[in-house]
Chains A and B, each alone.
Chain A
């Protein structure tokens, strides 16, 4: 007997496959849509809206004024200061994290896991609390200050300076640098280094010509993971920087709270988003893998 499979059935099966998991993912999808996508839409909408004299935001008279104001000297200064601080934070994190990641990934597997857990231990307590702890340490009679002046490294009073902000940011985001670096270095086939050494490369040359280029995906991933949140950081500059000099995060809050300029606050937020998005795009373009 001839068995004829209805082509419609096959088509149905394919369609079912393309929907696989959709229902199970639905709660999360709804959640993200309501609490993330819609508010984001509001922010974008606000950035084109009009600010009334009383500081209300009127969803009418759509214009680009808030974006034009991004070119103002004050805003530019804030943006560049944030970029600078984010860049320094990223570089310092990289310099600190690379040797650590290299060290961890060359240990035996059991030791490796222990060290990785160690790197993540700070996450077990709240970021805000930890940042306040830094404030205590950096206080004019805090331990940090006393040690610094004790060993003759200036008077050690760095609280409420950019340096304190960078210190806090490096502290907070270092694990985000260590983990992707570890993942990248750990993947490198050690026989490649032996191959390089066998082909007359010194230890340093073998690192520069083999290990470093092959760990680049980790460098890029880590740098983006540190740079992006540093650029938009709010808590750390607020607590350790004292907000004496405006940074992107606090400047945006100021626009909504004090200056009551919703459209400018929104356009600034969109700017931060675009910077972050570009960072993420670079990451994926480099063939980066999610961690």
Chain B
């Protein structure tokens, strides 16, 4: 698979602040890649360095193997969908969408065809002569998409494009964006702080924190096998069982239990074992099946969620959150019940940080 965007040792300082710290990343051709992280983690700065709107302090940015160096944004084969959309308020939809083609001196007839194609692609037919001020947020968002896609960029950069939309519209647009990407086959680099958005749309996700890229993997791997405490915590809910590395394939939990889990960290390193609430099961005391790891505890609280039941269970050294599919009354546990919580070590991961 060829590399659409290659970042090597990319670093960006603003004054004395390190916004992006020595970042290495290859984004594959045709993939939907998300840069995910909390605000201020450097994801937007990274995107802007690919666009040419910021120049890296150090490192190399390549697009399809070509070094971008200090090339200005207008000479890069990428287009951006801005968080604020940045639609030109004095131009109608058609002029906005045709702006890039006009700047590249595409002749008028072809330009009109392409503009019509792009406007239809985002289902904005009939709105070509409206000004951005006459459009709703969702419509402006579509125009911004059309304005970028009409140029058939090698890479489309999207900076939290759904951030300003309400929840329902956002979910609809997530779906449409994914469809659109499949349709046009352009590499999408998508910046978001919304983990759900990243998980549902992306082929791969890069999680950023404090200017560093912590983990790059498929949504499944990021969710099921996070490598750092930050990633495990940022994506979904989880339990952390404090532990210490004993050997290459064994960790010791805080209560002295030994657990066979592979880790690359050396002996004595303080780590945590993370298990998602839905990967834990609750049994009557001593009824847990073999081949699993078992912890005895007492039910602290029960919250009925309709499709699931959330238990908080106190084992003597910590609390565990457990989510069980809602079943018939027989299996249900109540506050004060003495139980055994079990999990398959394959569903647990060792994280550091």
Contacts and interface: CB of A to CB of B under 8 A. Distances in A.
Interface of A: 189, 191-192, 194-203, 205, 209-210, 213-214
B104 A191 contact: no
Contacts of A197: 52-53, 72-74
If over half of A's interface residues share one DSSP class (helix, strand or loop), that class is named, otherwise mixed; here it is helix
Contacts of B86: 189, 191-192, 194-195
**Chain A CB within 10 Å, residue with most, of B90, B103, B147:** B103
B82 A194 contact: yes
A212 to B, nearest CB: 10
Nearest to A214: B90
Contact of A201 (B74, B78, B90, B148): B74
- Interface centre among A194, A200, A213, by most chain B C-beta atoms within 10 angstroms, is A200
Which 8 pairs, one residue from A and one from B, show the smallest C-beta to C-beta distance?
A195-B86, A199-B100, A200-B103, A191-B86, A197-B73, A200-B74, A198-B80, A201-B103
Given A189-B84, A213-B90, A198 B103 contact: no
B222 to A, nearest CB: 29
A198 B88 contact: no
A198 B84 contact: no
Interface in B35-65: 51-53
Interface string B59-93: 00000000000001110001110101011111000
Contacts of B90: 213-214
B89 A214 contact: yes
A96 B156 CA distance: 40
Contacts of B104: 200
A195 B88 contact: yes
A201 B52 CA distance: 13
A110 B316 CA distance: 58
Nearest to B73: A197
A191 B79 CA distance: 14
Contacts of A213: 90
B151 interface: yes
A199 B103 CA distance: 7
A114 to B, nearest CB: 21
B99 interface: yes
Interface in B87-109: 87-90, 99-100, 103-104
Given A199-B99, A200-B104, A194 B73 contact: yes
